[in-house]
Amino acid sequence: MSKDRVLSGIQPTNGSFHLGNYLGAVKQWVELQNTHDAFYCVVDLHALTSSPDPKELHQNTLTSVAQLIALGLDPDRCTLFVQSHVPAHNQLAWVMECLTGFGEASRMTQFKDKSQKVGNERIGVGVFTYPMLMAADILLYQANQVPVGEDQRQHIELTRDLAQRFNSTYGQTFTIPEGYILKAGAKIYDLQDPTSKMSKSADSLSGLIEILETPEVNTKKIKSAVTDTGREIKFDEKEKPGISNLLTIYSALSGSKVADIEKEFEGKGYGDFKGAVAEVVTNYLAPIRKQTLELLDDRSHLEKILKAGAQKAEVVADKTLADVYNKVGLIPRG
Ligand code: AQP
């Protein structure tokens, strides 16, 4: 029996991924490459929506690939590629845009949040059409599951709606994908504002734990994390969002159950607990940081991996695109 297929992507918008990206998404990617036919891409076209500096985008794309490998992706067990290397992503995105209502695209909370921040005059159309490009990313590969963090749930729903709409209009074409979203740990929160998700676009970086940051800086950030009233180390997202977030992080990286951690820290204070969280986080990240830097030193090796990944991805993507073009009535070039 053939394996189910998974597809997911990550933006190369920063010099480093953050703990939310890893625990919400990439950690699952690593596990799924063992059981699924896995396609993972660095979505550089999506990153253009935030108008990055060209040199930084170039470097961040390579750093993203190196980080993904250091975090556990194995190019021999998954297809790892860069989105812009496979032109079918843009080509299918246009078809998806023509299928999407203006109203339904306007309801995407990511667009609403970002457009509220910068205003309608300044928000790029690319932020508006972002979910349709994401739908194309997923549907091109006929993915059964999409491992993402909780913040992407609405985009997956839109992708499903578009796939169903296309299938019912033009005949069976796309697999209807499902979100693969963790129940616990799907959302990691900002250390300084534990009611907002950890995000690289937060106003301040003090609540962000970056994978490639030095242990000293990350320790300092964890030790200054906002905590809650009271003294108890207890998981209670409503009353103790700060401590609950640290418990989630500790549990996900150490493999210990939250209940066991609560027991371990019974009678101890927030200071002790934060020290222990900092230790778990920095010990976990140290070898990943080291390997990323080593991989970045051998650029031709990374480029070889990406070339092979794009070739593998293109075979699947081009087949789907040809089927779509044919179904909507576009004449093949011949
Ligand atoms: N805080 C988070 N908790 C859990 N999962 C998260 N993801 C992002 N933040 C969290 C997941 O990471 C994957 C990659 O997402 P992305 O490429 O959209 O990353 P991003 O947008 O660069 O991350 P940010 O920091 O969230 O960026 P902004 O601020 O631009 O929105 C996805 O699967 C996502 O769910």
230: pLDDT strictly greater than 90: no
Pocket test for ligand 1, best of 32, 40, 154, 199 (most atoms within 8 A of CB): 199
Distance 231 CA to ligand 1 centre (A): 31
pLDDT confidence of residue 53: 97
Nearest-atom number in ligand 1 for the CA of 21 is 12
157: pLDDT strictly greater than 90: yes
Measured distance CA(181)–CA(161) in Å, rounded? 18
The β-bridge partners of 10 are 42
Question: What burial class does residue 256 get, using C-beta atoms within 10 Å of its C-beta: 0-12 exposed, 13-18 middle, 19+ buried?
Answer: middle
Tokens of 27: 């950690």
Q: How many residues does the chain have?
A: 334
Contact 48, 82 (CB under 8 A): no
Among protein residues, the one whose CA lies closest to atom 21 of ligand 1: 11
Nearest-atom number in ligand 1 for the CA of 151 is 35
Angle at 235 between CA 231 and CA 236, to 5 degrees: 90
1: pLDDT strictly greater than 80: no
Q: Which residues are catalytic?
A: 114, 197, 200
The CB of 188 under 6 Å from ligand 1? The reply is: yes
Among protein residues, the one whose CA lies closest to atom 8 of ligand 1: 21
What pLDDT band is residue 155 in, cutting at 50, 70 and 90? very high
Q: What is the DSSP string of 201-263?
A: TSS-GGG--BTTS-HHHHHHHHHT----SSS----BTTTBHHHHHHHHHHHHHH---HHHHHH
Lowest mean pLDDT among 60-74, 181-195, 197-211, 260-274: 181-195
The CB of 196 under 6 Å from ligand 1? The reply is: no
What pLDDT band is residue 185 in, cutting at 50, 70 and 90? low
183: pLDDT strictly greater than 80: no
pLDDT in tens, 30-73: 999 999 999 999 999 999 999 899 999 999 999 999 999 999 99
Distance 310 CA to ligand 1 centre (A): 23
- DSSP letter (8 states) at residue 172: S
The CB of 21 under 6 Å from ligand 1? The reply is: yes
Mean pLDDT score of the chain: 95
What pLDDT band is residue 334 in, cutting at 50, 70 and 90? confident
Contact 163, 176 (CB under 8 A): yes
Pocket test for ligand 1, best of 8, 10, 19, 21 (most atoms within 8 A of CB): 21
Name the percent of the chain lying above pLDDT 90. 90
Among protein residues, the one whose CA lies closest to atom 22 of ligand 1: 11
pLDDT in tens, 99-124: 999 999 999 999 999 999 889 899 99
The CB of 253 under 6 Å from ligand 1? The reply is: no
Give mean pLDDT, residues 135-157: 95
Among protein residues, the one whose CA lies closest to atom 23 of ligand 1: 199
The CB of 223 under 6 Å from ligand 1? The reply is: no
Q: Which residues contact 104 (CB under 8 A, 6 or more apart)?
A: 158, 161
Name the percent of the chain lying above pLDDT 70. 99
Among protein residues, the one whose CA lies closest to atom 31 of ligand 1: 199
Contact 109, 150 (CB under 8 A): no
pLDDT in tens, 71-93: 999 999 999 999 999 999 999 99
pLDDT confidence of residue 13: 84
Measured distance CA(183)–CA(224) in Å, rounded? 27
Specify the 3-state DSSP secondary structure of 179.
strand
